[in-house]
Amino acid sequence: MQRFCLALDLVDDPALIKEYEHFHAPGNAWPEVTQHDIDAGVLNIEIFRTGNRMFMILETVDEFTFEKKAEFDATNPKIAAWEALMWKFQKPLPWAGKGEKWILMDRIFKS
């Protein structure tokens, strides 16, 4: 199993943040999207928020790569629709590249 930590900001608007959290509340995520993640080798996703900063822990199978996931995502119109909807709420971190959302974090400490 692999584990990745990623970060993203939300648009700093309480109403939009509330709506974003509604889409991610238990039972509200689109089932096609969650199944697609499973099919891509994602074992578990946890998202945390403080203010408008998001932190995601992604656990995957050993064979998982972000490149393979991006190729797999590109073949699914439901994923494209979900991502387009999520852009309403999300904004890239200042150091993100063009079109990047979730940015992989570097581990700097482990006990």
**What is the CATH classification number for the domain harbouring 31?**
3.30.70.1090
Report strand pairing: 90-91 vs 2-10.
antiparallel
Cβ atoms of 8 and 103 closer than 8 Å: yes
Answer whether residue 86 is part of any domain: yes
Least confident range of 3-7, 70-74, 98-102, 105-109: 98-102
Reported pTM: 0.90
| Within a domain: 111 | no
In a domain, 47, yes or no: yes
| Residue 79 · residue 36 · CB < 8 Å | yes
Digit-coded pLDDT (tens) for 51-100 = 999 999 999 999 999 999 999 999 999 999 999 999 999 999 999 998 89
95 within a domain of the structure (yes/no):
yes
Residues listed for the chain: 111
53: in domain: yes
> Residue 84: which domain range?
2-104
> In angstroms, what CA-CA distances link 1 with 42, 46, 48?
10, 15, 21
In a domain, 41, yes or no: yes
* Structural domains counted in the chain: 1
Is there a domain that residue 38 lies in? yes
Average pLDDT, the chain: 96
What is the pLDDT, as a whole number, of residue 99?
84
Give tens-digit pLDDT for 25-52.
999 999 999 999 999 999 999 999 999 9
